[in-house]
Amino acid sequence: MTNWTRRQICSMAGGVLAAAAAPHVARSQNKPRVVVIGGGIGGATVARYLGDLKTMDVTLIEPKRRYVTCFFSNLYLAGLRSLPSLTFDFEALTERHDVKVIHQAATVIDAGTKTVTLRDSVMLAYDRLVVAPGIAFKSGEIRNYDASAAEIMPHAWNAGPQSELLRRQLESMEDGGVFVIVAPPNPFRCPPAPYERASLVAYYFKQFKPRSKILILDAKDRFSGQELFQEAWGRHYPGMIEWLPRQFTGAVKIVDVAARSVVTEGETFKAAVANIIPAQKAGAIAEKTGLTDTSGWCPVDPVTFESTLQRGIHVVGDSIIGGDMPKSAFSTNSQAKACAFAIAASLTGSPQFPSHLFNSCYTFLAPDDAFTNAITFAPEGGKIKMVETFISKVGESAEVRRRTAHQAVGWYSAFTADVFGEGS
Ligand SMILES: Cc1cc2nc3c(=O)[nH]c(=O)nc-3n(C[C@H](O)[C@H](O)[C@H](O)COP(=O)(O)OP(=O)(O)OC[C@H]3O[C@@H](n4cnc5c(N)ncnc54)[C@H](O)[C@@H]3O)c2cc1C
């Protein structure tokens, strides 16, 4: 994990923000102000690393008091991890890293006056704004799938109550039932995760509901880590997982919530439990602020992560168009550190370092069988390009895979301590 060494910032930009004229605008202190929207992986990392410098006034806006990580939530679904073990609060950021945390949603960003309005009408002025709202779901791509349908057919693509709902449904499912996973089109949050979910739920079924089946109805014809997954499915769960690509089904078009069935171009599939992972786009506040282009995602400068559409606003994490970088927590954390460096340089005159962009993911096939990848990236021609890559191979020994699974557990602890500031 890259660690940003704390350093004294010698010069401070003279630009102390004059608070906007409205009487309820929170007044500036004698430091440049950074407001960060979204206290997930991207927002918490930026806030923590800027807070550590102590040269800026850093405010993090996040409605939830507790954040549950999506990574490792598939282990929770399989009964291999508890939800509390995946849950973090924001106290360390406040107490150890000089971040002011406000538990509210941001409702309006005004790039002209450089203000953010919160749900309770409080207005905050900023010198630099970071927007890290994660993903939203595209509506209308699967007919009848909306927020109320998600209470019956969960997506569990934001961890927390949705994960608990899906776990309860899997626990109460009869042996012999069919668990249908509807996998989304590219690009989406964590490309291997629908297939990791299939693997770990299969592990649970193998022990407790061995006659059950898993059917993946995919909106794609290929998926990330396909050879590694398919080899492992044959080895660990023969005959239990069936994957149907788009070319065979035309993809899922409609859900029938009452009948708990999903409908493709030519067929209806009845589910005992249905997990619908819809097509995705940038978080709602990004779209509302004009930070997204026609793709539904946010174009950014690959060095500073400043929006190319709205100057003075940076975007990190799953909301951006990341070029070759996948939408993952590791990528997000690495982008957030590069973004923090760039903001410090611009507001306080500290040196601008070249951005080091990485991704490394651990993916579980069974509790003691995991594969990994490690990729470096660099900005090139205004985009983020892959430089070097390592990925586990089909046919690795059981011992190598066991070690990788063990390393994944260590990674989780170190990574979350880095993001939420619970380490040093
Ligand atoms: C099942 C699954 C498994 C995964 N496994 C891995 C893995 O093994 N490794 C890995 O690297 N990645 C993994 N990921 C991906 C990882 O979880 C995401 O890439 C990461 O969370 C993205 O961070 P983010 O900050 O962009 O979004 P998030 O972490 O989702 O944070 C966004 C935050 O913004 C807040 N927010 C939204 N709108 C507003 C607003 N208007 N005002 C204030 N706050 C707002 C939200 O409440 C949320 O807390 C997995 C994802 C899933 C679904």
Q: Give CA–CA dist 263/332, Å, rounded.
A: 34
Distance, CA 319 to ligand 1 centroid (Å)?
9
Superfamily of domain 25-136+281-351: FAD/NAD(P)-binding domain (3.50.50.60)
Q: What is the pLDDT of residue 390?
A: 97
Q: What is the pLDDT of residue 424?
A: 58
Q: What is the pLDDT of residue 18?
A: 26
Q: What is the pLDDT of residue 6?
A: 28
Q: Give CA–CA dist 211/175, Å, rounded.
A: 6
Residue 187 in contact with ligand 1 by CB distance below 6 A: no
- Name the residue at shortest CA distance from atom 7 of ligand 1: 71
Residue 330 in contact with ligand 1 by CB distance below 6 A: yes
Which residue among 35, 41, 118, 162 has the greatest number of ligand 1 atoms within 8 angstroms of its CB, and so is best to mutate? 41
Residue 192 in contact with ligand 1 by CB distance below 6 A: no
Q: Is 199 helix (H, G, I), strand (E, B) or coil?
A: helix
Tokens of 205: 């079924």
Q: Is 128 helix (H, G, I), strand (E, B) or coil?
A: strand
Tokens of 144: 């009848």
Residue 322 in contact with ligand 1 by CB distance below 6 A: no
CB 61 within 8 A of CB 81: no
Nearest atom in ligand 1 to 107's CA? 41
User: What are the structural domain ranges in the chain?
Assistant: 25-136+281-351, 140-278
Per-residue tens of pLDDT for the chain, all 424 residues: 333 332 222 222 222 222 222 333 444 458 999 999 999 999 999 999 999 999 999 999 999 999 999 999 999 999 999 999 999 999 999 999 999 999 999 999 999 999 999 999 999 999 999 999 999 999 999 999 999 999 999 999 999 999 999 999 999 999 999 999 999 999 999 999 999 999 999 999 999 999 999 999 999 999 999 999 999 999 999 999 999 999 999 999 999 999 999 999 999 999 999 999 999 999 999 999 999 999 999 999 999 999 999 999 999 999 999 999 999 999 999 999 999 999 999 999 988 878 789 999 999 999 999 999 999 999 999 999 999 999 999 999 999 999 999 999 999 999 999 999 997 5
Residue 154 in contact with ligand 1 by CB distance below 6 A: no
Q: What is the pLDDT of residue 123?
A: 98
Q: What is the pLDDT of residue 29?
A: 55
Q: Give CA–CA dist 185/417, Å, rounded.
A: 32
Distance, CA 277 to ligand 1 centroid (Å)?
15
Nearest atom in ligand 1 to 285's CA? 41
Q: What is the pLDDT of residue 2?
A: 33
Which residue among 137, 190, 315 has the greatest number of ligand 1 atoms within 8 angstroms of its CB, and so is best to mutate? 190
Nearest atom in ligand 1 to 363's CA? 8
Second CATH level (architecture) for the domain 140-278 = 3-Layer(bba) Sandwich (3.50)
Note whether 25-136+281-351 and 140-278 share their fold: yes
Q: What is the pLDDT of residue 350?
A: 87
CA distances from 150 to 1, 158, 222, 405 (A): 36, 12, 26, 31
Q: What is the pLDDT of residue 20?
A: 28
Residue 381 CB neighbours (<10 A): 7
